[in-house]
Structure 1
Amino acid sequence: MLGLTLREEFRGKRLKGTAIELSNDTNTGATQIAAQSFLEITYPTHDLLKGIEAVGPDQGRPVVVIGERGLGKSHLMAALYHAVNDPVSTGAWLNAWSATLGDAQIGKIALRTGMTVIGESLHRQRYKFLWDLLFERHPHGTYIKGKWEGMGAAKTDIPSDQLIIELLEHAPTMLLLDEFQTWFDGLTNTKQYPWKNWAFNFIQILSEIAKERPDLLVLVISVRNGGSDAYQQVHRVNPVAVDFKAGGNAERIQLDRRRMLLHRLFENRLQIASSAVDALVSGHVAEYFRLAEVPPAEQDRKRNEFTESWPFAPHLLRLLEEQVLIATDAQETRDMIRILAALYKSRGDAVPVLTAADFRLDDDASGIGALLDSVSNEHHRTLREKAQQNIISVTEAVYNHATLAPHLQEIVGALWLRSIAVGNLAGAEPATLQIDITRDKAVDDNAFQVELATIVENSFNIHQDGARLVFREEENPRAKLMACARNDKLFLDGSDQAQLAKQIRYVISGSDEVAKTFRVIALPKSWQTDPWSSLDENERLENWDDRLPILVLPEEPDNIDQRLGRWLKDHLQKRRNTIRFLLPRAGSGNAFFDRDLRILARAEMKAQEWSGQGPEYKKLHTEFQGVLRDLLKKRFDRFAILARWNFADPNQCLFSVESLKKQGAQIPEAIEEALANDLFVPEDFEDLVMAAAADNASVGKLLQELREPRPAGQDCIPWLGETSMKERVLRLCARGKIAINLRGLEYLQTTPGEDEESAWKRLRPKLSYTGRQLDEVFLMVPSAVPATGGANPAVMPPENSGAGLFGTTPSEPTSPSTLNEPTQGGQAHPSPIGGIFGGGSPSASKPRVSLHNPATSGLNLYSKLESWGIGPATPVSDVTIKVSAATGAQLSKLLKNLPDGMTFELNLEKDD
């Protein structure tokens, strides 16, 4: 990008180590190569210039370089080595940077000349004692060593200051001791081997010589911190401390560090024009200002930061320096260079500015590998694996993830990197992640919010921590649950649809009272073509009881009259007039295709399944169940009931559609209230009951007719349920409109002078029969029964009738006028129901047909009934059974098989 070129050492497939060694066995150490080559990769930071000045000709204090591993101590010490060892090359380097940076003071720094320079990385443990280093590497060292060892009894444990001064007078020396603290802390200090004490005393001698005779000795050591014993003796002589703090100026520290990093990484970074960089990153910078809410007064300074830090975003460098590398105890600058080099090689040519989003979790070459190698932290490796699994979870759960989450890899990578930080710094706010993925063009805010929500909802290791999102090893119960709920592959068995139907049923018939009266059935998504096969066995038509059926439609029919009429004809063969269709709001799609509803049903179902894994899932189950039920309660606002039926052409059917103001479990009662008050026409019902009474029809037959639509295009009478319909029949009886024959046991009708309410209270408890028992309860006109309405005595069978078994005896029609006439026994003659197997009374106005069959077997007589046209509901009267002869056992069996609910009279002759 813009012709930027990485240094050759970073261009290979494998990055070379960036650690600086003063010397090594291959002669490629920093002090073993030419000064010009080494200084070429060196940027004149404030600390480096301070160190060069401190070893100059007019200085008289030791120099201590203080800093943890990786800050660049060794690099600085190598630069000091070349500054004294090759002042010509160093001077040219200072002058060049003076011109480049526009700072004349850099070129005026004085350099020391004419000194022997000895540098050693002590951590290599090549020397047991510091004087061994001096004696071996100094031109006059062999002489002084021999002089010391030849002192005999006067030989001291360590060389005296006089010997060292004599050594240095022969050849003034600059001594650089890199990793001095590491070497010193590793020394033993026993009575037999008091080497640490000897080293402590000898460094005191060197530091005092360096202070008092700076013309003879320049002493430079490096330590990790200022609190160690290794530093204390040098500290006594007030050394020059180079601590990588740039004089305490934070802005100068940051600027120095940025320039040093870029110069170390790239051959020509300073040759890239600032104007070209500004134009390239302008889109990203503008969005950064907007999303980070940078005040106008700060924008110029921030813009300069972007220019100085390019090709890396300053917020990325701060993240790595202040959070990631500190949190992981990485070796600061050394690892930073490796990470940034890998990142640029992978993504530098693809984007205008590199951000945290360029750390791609699926690509080790994007800096991830270098970072993980640097931190060597198993926690972060595990967290990376979790993040990668979350990416897979999103791609599996969101079928169109390429459209909904186009920045999936970048967002997850950025969030993972930002989650490495410790404490309150871990994670990122949504605006920060949006900045990370912004390149030359702005990302639409709404699209980003949808994308981020999609990722979070389908990732089970992303946690919400206040306003921040953060990756953690432990699973987020909510995220895990939602990731599972959004994965369509886990619900190919239709269990989510079954759960949604279950919740619909519960919402409509939640209470036990409602469930006792109403049968709520949530029809499946294929309700128009296959409504029954996917339902539970007890919900299918053949297993219905007398509860009022409410069929909940998953969608609004396109043409209610035609669609529901055709549905009733094709899928319901009986009870067509009992159905209530519950309809969703206008414009609602099929509930089983509504992804939001299905996901809520899945989440509620899975949370219940996982409730044993912890209390969090129990809370989530309650939460998602409540949300789902609230949505379902508001979904249905109308019901439809058949108004006019046309079997031949269902398209001509008509339905009454009524609105509902109630929700949830209040809907069934609201439907019944609307039917009873608005759609039920009492006059039509009364006409139908009066016609049934005129035909002496049974109540069972009447109710069966009411369960079906009325033929010939007549308006249907809404079915209100067996109990309600029986009560309305009794109301008509209490008004004196009809009478009721209770299975021959009792007649119900009003008495003279009795008002309706008194009759209602008296009659209401009487009609307690249900089911098939109602086939034996007959409707009659009031004139066909005794006025008393009391119990009726049985009629004696006529003697010598000559009829066979189940045969009927010819008789004259009984006129109404004879019903109340006294008989020989002084009793009113009831309507003829008597005889064994006596039937109900026929209408007085209809002629009777006498039927007779000679004596034969019972099976033959049973078949004869069908030929006579006598069915289960056909009323017959004056039934007489004649048995010429029988044994006691036969008679006993005959009596045991007589039907319940009837009275019988028995006459027989028995041998004396």
Structure 2
Amino acid sequence: MLGLKLRQEFQGGRLKGTAIELTNDKNTGATQIPASNFLGITYPSYDLLKAIEAIGPNQSLPVVLKGERGQGKSHLEAALYHILTNAEEAKSWLQHWSSQLENSRLAELDLRSGMHVISESLHRQQYKFLWDLILDRHPHGQYIREKWEAMGDKKTDVPPYDLLLKLLKNQPTALILDEFQTWYDGLTNTKQYPWRTWAFNFIQLLSEIAQEQPDLLVLVVSVRNGSTDAYQQIHRINPVVVDFKGPNAALDRRRLLLHRLFENRLQLNEDDIATLIATHVSEYFRLTLVPPADFERHQREFIESWPYSPILMRLLEDQVLVATSAQETRDLIKILADLFKGAGASNPIVTAADFKLDDDATQIATLLDSVSNQYHASLREKAQRNLTAVQAVVKGNEVPHLSEIVGALWLRSLAVENLAGAEPATLQIDITRSQPIDDNAFQVELATIVDNSFNIHPHGNRYSFREDENATTKLMAHARNDRLFTDGSDDAELAKQVRYILGGSEAVARSFRLIVLPQTWLKDPWSTLDPSEHPDRWGDRLPILVLPEEPDKFNERLGTWLKEHVQRLRNTIRFLLPKSGTTNIYQDRELLVLARAIMVADQWKAQSSEYRGIKTRYEKELKDKLKNQFDRFALLNSWNYADPKRCEFIVEGVKAQGDKIPDAIEDRIRKDVFIPEDFEEYVRDAAENRDSVGKLLRELQEPRPGGKDCIPWLGETQVKERLIRVCARGGIAINLRDLEYLQANPGEDEAAAWHRMKGRQLGTGRHLDETKLLPTQSVPSSDGVEPQPNVPTSSIPQPNLELGNGITDDVSLPTATPSDAENSGSNGYPGDLPPSSSANESSDGSIFDDPQPTSVARRTSPATSALNLYAKVSDEWGIGPATPVQNLSLKVGALTGAQLQKLLKSLPDGLTYELDLEKEEN
């Protein structure tokens, strides 16, 4: 990427430590290598230049480097060491940077020379007393030690001022003490061992000499903070403090890091960098609403930080490394080096999105783990599990930036307190490289990740990973995993919820049997349903079949389905239809996921009561979506068994919602579909045939043959009530099992007759077959009817019956005997039977079943196919399931033995058959 080259020490597979040691046993410490090598990786930061000026000629103040671990104090002290010991190399280094940064002040800095330099990292605990370090390392130190020892009883606890002055006059010295606070805080201070007090006094002497005799002593120490006695003692003489927090600190740190990491970063052309990152910067301006007046300033910051985003640099320095207690610059260098090796060579700019949790080739996450606490280590594990969960749910390239978004969000979630997490716009910037990302596409990606990651929590407009699980998200992530529901339990749950939403009320359950057909409704509607929902178990309740989808070729599809999958009660069915154009409910992922969530929440509620509330919330959400899903219903209008494709259905709209739909359907049928006149005509015909009420009910529950329009089935209770109303209008009479006759009296209006009859029960079960429908003139007169005059027996018509065998017999009605006449009415007939009646009467006045002679018609069909014969019987001849048939003869010209056996096996049981055939003999 623009030829940017990482320094050799960072190119290996394993990163070397970046901690600066002034000296070590291998002689590879920062003060033990050549000045040119060390200064070559040193950037002249503002803090370093300030320290160089403070130790220059004629300066009279000690220098204190103050900052937490890893901020670069040791590196700065090592640079001062080389500047003091090799002024010529230091001068050359300053001139180079003066030209590079176009700052002439660097070349003009005065450098001190000719001093003996003593440097030590005190945290190594090589010396208990600070004066031992000086006396051991100074050329004149042994002499001064002997003079101090020779003081005898006058020997002081610490070397006295005059001996120290004599030592330094012999050889001016620069004393550089790294980790001074660590050493000082480790000293004991008891009555027996008052070592800290001695160190305190000795530092006071050195500080005074450094202030009063700057040509003799340069004192440089580093401390972590200003809260200890070690710092306070030096602070008394007003030292020069370098605290790494000046106004130029951020820019200096950035340049220092880049120079430390790369061999040629500052030599690259800025225009080339600007062109390379133009898309990323442009999207940053757009998504963060940067005002045009600030464009140039922000673009400058992006160029200065390249190849890293300045947003990433601030995130790491100000939030992540602070939260993880990392050693700032030291650990940051390692993290940035590994980040560049993993992503920098292929991306125009390195962002938080390059912290990929699923990339084993990079050590970034491991590096962060090494400087973080247990909480952050656990958070990384949670984020990895969430990433895996999303990968299990999404298909193909549905979320192309999954790894980048999860990595960026995880990194940002390491920040402190309210800064943890990120807004969607920030994450979109993170994943934007050379091409802009469509806003809508990104929102879909982010929503998919959030919905399937159970450790991502929303707070305001931000998202963040947290150790505790988001119960709702965990539940939904489970619900969206298709692999967990391959047994079809989600389909069953959705059907259950639909049934509950549409027919869950007690009132609906009493009157309707609401059945939600499965996804396989066209080919296999019943096998997956409970046996109680099969057609043979529907009982008296009105069946409402909920179709999961709108059938194509509506009439043809439903007609064929009825013939193949429903053998009885075809005319009772109401088909509830979804809105036109909607998806099959079992293929509507939103509905299916909600149903899964409800089911899983119900299973998990024992683990946590929180899932009870979640279940209730999703039940309401599913209800809101489903209550408007169905807006039409269909009824069979005309039936064609032979060719079910020619069946016709009535489709009506319904405006009700939820459990109000079943009642709304019935109300619409009664008002707009049911034709009372057709019903009354049908009932009158049944009365003429002396049919039982049971037979009438059974026939009404089936389609009318011959392509006639069906009379909508209103339910047994409704049909019985309407039968009594027809009776109250004088249309028919009803024989209640020979116990009572219902018939309107002459001159009685309908309302009065209805009031008199409405409490009568027509019976149930077998009693319905014993209750007969009669024409009104066929019923014995009731009270209030004028008696008819006597009619001679000879004047009663004698009807002829044509039997099924074609023979005509004479049938005569019985003649009243003298004994009968004594019990007869005024007309001479038993029980006041009208002359027109053909009914027989028993001695107790009851009417015999079917006393009226019945006409018999012979029907014959030429040879044809079974299908055509069936159509002729049902459609042309009007023979239904309840029609009596006599003397049936079926003639087959020729057939095989197998066909004969099959024919015999299909004959109904309970009847006897006579067989006559011609068998061919060999």
TM-score using structure 1 length: 0.88
Amino acid at match of 2:344: G
Work out which of the residue numbers 597, 603, 607 in structure 2 matches 1:603.
597
Amino acid at match of 1:269: R
Check if 1:575 corresponds to 2:583.
no
Give me the whole-angstrom Cα distance separating, in 2, the residues matched to 1:841 and 1:658.
42
Work out which of the residue numbers 307, 325, 345 in structure 1 matches 2:321.
325
Contact 1:390 1:459 in 2 (8 A): yes
Give me the whole-angstrom Cα distance separating, in 2, the residues matched to 1:498 and 1:872.
38
Give me the whole-angstrom Cα distance separating, in 2, the residues matched to 1:447 and 1:496.
29
Kindly state the Cα deviation for residue 818 of structure 1 after the two structures are TM-superposed: 13
Check if 1:380 corresponds to 2:359.
no
Give me the whole-angstrom Cα distance separating, in 1, the residues matched to 2:549 and 2:635.
16
Quickly say closer, same or farther: Cα 1:565–1:835, change in 2 above 3 A.
farther
Give me the whole-angstrom Cα distance separating, in 1, the residues matched to 2:66 and 2:359.
36
Work out which of the residue numbers 510, 526, 536 in structure 2 matches 1:532.
526
Check if 1:687 corresponds to 2:681.
yes
Quickly say closer, same or farther: Cα 1:820–1:847, change in 2 above 3 A.
farther
2:646 is matched with which residue?
652
**For 1:857-901, what per-residue CA distance to the aligned partner results, in whole angstroms no more than 9, with x for missing partners?**
xxxxxxxxxxxxxx9999xxxxxxxxxxxxxxxxxxxxxxxxxxx
Contact 2:307 2:344 in 1 (8 A): yes
What are the equivalent positions in structure 2 for 1:197-346 lying under 5 Å apart? 197-246=197-246, 249=247, 252-346=248-342
Contact 2:735 2:741 in 1 (8 A): yes
User: Counterpart of 1:107 in 2: which secondary structure?
Assistant: coil
Kindly state the Cα deviation for residue 838 of structure 1 after the two structures are TM-superposed: 7.8
Contact 2:695 2:882 in 1 (8 A): no
**For 1:342-376, what per-residue CA distance to the aligned partner results, in whole angstroms no more than 9, with x for missing partners?**
10111111100000000010125535245324424
2:554 is matched with which residue?
560
Give me the whole-angstrom Cα distance separating, in 2, the residues matched to 1:770 and 1:789.
28
Kindly state the Cα deviation for residue 377 of structure 1 after the two structures are TM-superposed: 1.9
What are the equivalent positions in structure 2 for 1:150-229 lying under 5 Å apart? 150-229=150-229
Quickly say closer, same or farther: Cα 1:774–1:97, change in 2 above 3 A.
same
Give me the whole-angstrom Cα distance separating, in 2, the residues matched to 1:528 and 1:215.
103
Work out which of the residue numbers 760, 771, 780 in structure 2 matches 1:777.
771
What are the equivalent positions in structure 2 for 1:66-145 lying under 5 Å apart? 66-145=66-145
**For 1:752-809, what per-residue CA distance to the aligned partner results, in whole angstroms no more than 9, with x for missing partners?**
322101111111111241233211100111222222179xxxxxxxxxxxxxxxxxxx
Contact 1:81 1:119 in 2 (8 A): yes
Quickly say closer, same or farther: Cα 1:687–1:824, change in 2 above 3 A.
closer
Give me the whole-angstrom Cα distance separating, in 2, the residues matched to 1:835 and 1:700.
27
Contact 1:158 1:202 in 2 (8 A): yes
What are the equivalent positions in structure 2 for 1:620-635 lying under 5 Å apart? 620-635=614-629
2:148 is matched with which residue?
148
Quickly say closer, same or farther: Cα 1:30–1:628, change in 2 above 3 A.
same
Amino acid at match of 2:439: D
Quickly say closer, same or farther: Cα 1:342–1:370, change in 2 above 3 A.
farther
Contact 1:749 1:789 in 2 (8 A): no
Amino acid at match of 1:711: P
Check if 1:731 corresponds to 2:739.
no
Quickly say closer, same or farther: Cα 1:816–1:468, change in 2 above 3 A.
farther
Kindly state the Cα deviation for residue 204 of structure 1 after the two structures are TM-superposed: 0.4
1:16 is matched with which residue?
16
Quickly say closer, same or farther: Cα 1:788–1:567, change in 2 above 3 A.
same
Contact 1:646 1:712 in 2 (8 A): yes
**For 1:718-762, what per-residue CA distance to the aligned partner results, in whole angstroms no more than 9, with x for missing partners?**
111111111111011001111111111111111232210111111
Kindly state the Cα deviation for residue 648 of structure 1 after the two structures are TM-superposed: 0.6
Give me the whole-angstrom Cα distance separating, in 2, the residues matched to 1:118 and 1:789.
139
Amino acid at match of 2:669: L
What are the equivalent positions in structure 2 for 1:387-536 lying under 5 Å apart? 387-398=383-394, 400=395, 402-536=396-530
Quickly say closer, same or farther: Cα 1:131–1:847, change in 2 above 3 A.
closer
Give me the whole-angstrom Cα distance separating, in 2, the residues matched to 1:821 and 1:565.
59
**For 1:271-322, what per-residue CA distance to the aligned partner results, in whole angstroms no more than 9, with x for missing partners?**
1110110011001100111111111111100000110000000000000001
- Give the stretch that moved more between structures: 722-731 or 767-776: 767-776
1:908 is matched with which residue?
none
User: Counterpart of 2:606 in 1: which secondary structure?
Assistant: helix
Give me the whole-angstrom Cα distance separating, in 1, the residues matched to 2:688 and 2:776.
10
**For 1:603-654, what per-residue CA distance to the aligned partner results, in whole angstroms no more than 9, with x for missing partners?**
1111222223334322221111111112111111111111111111111111
Work out which of the residue numbers 354, 357, 368 in structure 2 matches 1:361.
357
- Give the stretch that moved more between structures: 697-706 or 780-789: 780-789
Amino acid at match of 1:580: R
Give me the whole-angstrom Cα distance separating, in 2, the residues matched to 1:348 and 1:543.
71
2:541 is matched with which residue?
547
Give me the whole-angstrom Cα distance separating, in 1, the residues matched to 2:820 and 2:584.
66
5+ long unaligned stretches in structure 1: 791-809, 849-870, 875-912
Give me the whole-angstrom Cα distance separating, in 2, the residues matched to 1:364 and 1:106.
45
2:850 is matched with which residue?
842
Kindly state the Cα deviation for residue 335 of structure 1 after the two structures are TM-superposed: 0.5
Kindly state the Cα deviation for residue 449 of structure 1 after the two structures are TM-superposed: 0.6
Contact 1:786 1:820 in 2 (8 A): no
Check if 1:51 corresponds to 2:64.
no
User: Counterpart of 2:738 in 1: which secondary structure?
Assistant: coil
Kindly state the Cα deviation for residue 81 of structure 1 after the two structures are TM-superposed: 1.0
User: Counterpart of 2:522 in 1: which secondary structure?
Assistant: coil
Aligned residues: 828
5+ long unaligned stretches in structure 2: 785-809, 834-838, 857-880, 885-922
Kindly state the Cα deviation for residue 529 of structure 1 after the two structures are TM-superposed: 0.4
Kindly state the Cα deviation for residue 388 of structure 1 after the two structures are TM-superposed: 1.1
Quickly say closer, same or farther: Cα 1:837–1:166, change in 2 above 3 A.
farther
Give me the whole-angstrom Cα distance separating, in 2, the residues matched to 1:172 and 1:823.
158
Work out which of the residue numbers 759, 764, 773 in structure 2 matches 1:765.
759
Quickly say closer, same or farther: Cα 1:818–1:2, change in 2 above 3 A.
farther
User: Counterpart of 1:363 in 2: which secondary structure?
Assistant: coil
Question: Which of structure 1's runs of 4+ aligned residues deviate more than 3 A?
Answer: 364-367, 814-822, 824-848, 871-874
1:617 is matched with which residue?
611
**For 1:646-673, what per-residue CA distance to the aligned partner results, in whole angstroms no more than 9, with x for missing partners?**
1111111111111111122121112111
Contact 2:597 2:615 in 1 (8 A): yes
1:706 is matched with which residue?
700
Quickly say closer, same or farther: Cα 1:490–1:370, change in 2 above 3 A.
closer
Quickly say closer, same or farther: Cα 1:846–1:521, change in 2 above 3 A.
closer
Amino acid at match of 1:395: Q
Kindly state the Cα deviation for residue 833 of structure 1 after the two structures are TM-superposed: 5.7
Kindly state the Cα deviation for residue 95 of structure 1 after the two structures are TM-superposed: 1.0
Contact 1:223 1:231 in 2 (8 A): yes
- Give the stretch that moved more between structures: 469-478 or 760-769: 760-769
Amino acid at match of 1:86: N
Equivalent pairs: percent with the same residue? 59
What are the equivalent positions in structure 2 for 1:25-40 lying under 5 Å apart? 25-40=25-40
Kindly state the Cα deviation for residue 256 of structure 1 after the two structures are TM-superposed: 0.5
Give me the whole-angstrom Cα distance separating, in 2, the residues matched to 1:488 and 1:214.
78
